[in-house]
Amino acid sequence: MSNTFTAPVDAAELTSALIRCPSVTPEEGGALVLLQAGLEAAGFTCTRIDRGGVSNLFARWGDKGATRTFGFNGHTDVVPVGDADAWTVDPFGAEVKDGQIWGRGATDMKSGVAAFVAAAVDMVAQTPPDGAIIITITGDEEGDALDGTTAILDWMDAENEQMSVCLVGEPTCPNEIGEMMKIGRRGSMTAFITVTGVQGHAAYPHRANNPIPALARLVDRLASHTLDTGTDHFDASTLAVVTFDTGNPATNVIPAQCKATVNIRFNDAHSSASLSEWLQSEADAIAAEFGVQIDMPIKVSGESFVTPPGALSDLVAAAVAAETGMQPELSTSGGTSDARFVQHHCPVVEFGLVGKTMHQVDERVEISQIHQLKQIYARILADYFA
């Protein structure tokens, strides 16, 4: 595909070009270079915001400080291919067959980036809006997300760049395009629990202090606890035990140490701080009961948030309904996304394609859906600036 984007931009061709860029986190792979060249040729002012070995792109059409500024956010980094021999196509070949484009990132989310870039370029070329359009694209959404969208937003704050509202183009629909949009996301945190006792011979348990019963009791108490029953916009919070390990191959040895990991997905009834306090209180009680030491570092991936239904969700829902005939469900389900960072900057919602094959072997996207998504984004822009 040419580095010059000429309206009307073919979003499917752009998707293919992006898939051919092997941008596995944190490699840029040529994807942002391609987008920057095309956007600059279309009249956007572009800035590369690279931090911590991560490549990011900021692009604006229109005046800085415009009264109305519509923002798009997305990512061009992708998860690793995995077992390359399990693929039936070249993961970075963008092969077209059965009306689909195949390759890593086809669904998550190079098609979404291509669709909103194409819609934005077409609008500024054909019906220049009274306002500004900002596009922010990161190369660190699938990684630790420490130097991706957060780096862009830090730079925007320093440069007084402001989005009035933002749409994140992540895949949001379970089965059919148009059925779901996201107005928030659950928070996510992980506790890494290590219980230390005293090693000993299994025949003389009184001379040891077995950490396994202590950890089993703690894990049971955590997993059996009802965090909540849901809130106005969220389902009930969940806690999942994802590992329980001793690493002990011997049958006649009581180990000195064992470990478990729990992941909590939480709604707006909690914060990571309140849940951390609860986890620690439970650990302290078990440590005192069993006479063991419990260490429990906690990693917080994001807090829960919701953009209350209103002008932005109405705008997106109306465009989706007009183009698909479906009224999207306003959901907060699923994992985390970079909307958790954007929500500190401006109101944000998410809408994108069907996500059935994301992160899978033979990831692929319906070509017809890419064109449909571009039309939805184009209608959103037209209605926003009307």
Q: What is the pLDDT of residues 41-80, one digit of tens each?
A: 999 999 999 999 999 999 999 999 899 999 999 999 999 9
Residue type for position 349: V
Q: Which CATH class is domain 11-185+304-385?
A: alpha beta
Give me the amino acid identity at 334: G
pLDDT of residue 334: 86
Asked whether 109 and 371 are in contact (CB, 8 A), the reply is: no
Strands 165-168 and 69-75 turn out to be parallel
**Residue 335 clears pLDDT 90, i.e. is over it:** no
Length of the chain: 386
Domain ranges within the chain, ordered by starting residue = 11-185+304-385, 187-302
Q: Is 77 a catalytic residue?
A: yes
Task: Give the pLDDT band (50/70/90) at residue 339.
Answer: very high
Question: What is the Cα–Cα distance from 364 to 50, expressed in whole angstroms?
Answer: 29
- CATH assignment of 187-302, given 3.40.50.720, 3.20.20.70, 3.40.50.10860, 3.30.70.360? 3.30.70.360
What Rg, from alpha-carbon coordinates, does the chain have?
24
Q: What does the DSSP assignment read for 134-194? A: EEEEES-SSS--SSSHHHHHHHHHHHT---SEEEE----BSSSTTSEEESEE-EEEEEEEE
**Residue among 69, 175, 81 at smallest CA distance from 120:** 69
pLDDT over 80 (residue 17): yes
Q: What is the pLDDT of residue 55?
A: 97
User: What is the pLDDT, as a whole number, of residue 179?
Assistant: 97
Active site residue 366: no
Please state at what angle helix 367-385 crosses helix 111-126, rounded to 10 degrees. 40
What mean pLDDT comes out for the span 167-194? 97
Residue pair 53/26 in contact by the 8 Å Cβ criterion: yes
Torsion on CA atoms 76, 11, 125, 41, rounded to nearest 10: 50
Sequence-separated (6 or more) residues with CB below 8 Å from residue 108: 78, 79, 170, 171, 355, 358, 359, 363
Q: What is the largest CA-CA distance in the chain?
A: 82
User: Mean pLDDT throughout 73-93?
Assistant: 97
Q: Catalytic: which of 28, 77, 140, 142?
A: 77
Which residue among the candidates 141, 170, 303, 338 is catalytic per the annotation?
141
pLDDT attached to residue 56: 98
pTM of the predicted structure, to 2 decimals: 0.91
Nearest Cα to Cα of residue 211 among 195, 200, 199: 195
Q: What is the mean pLDDT of residues 304-325?
A: 97
Nearest Cα residue to 28 out of 112, 143, 135: 143
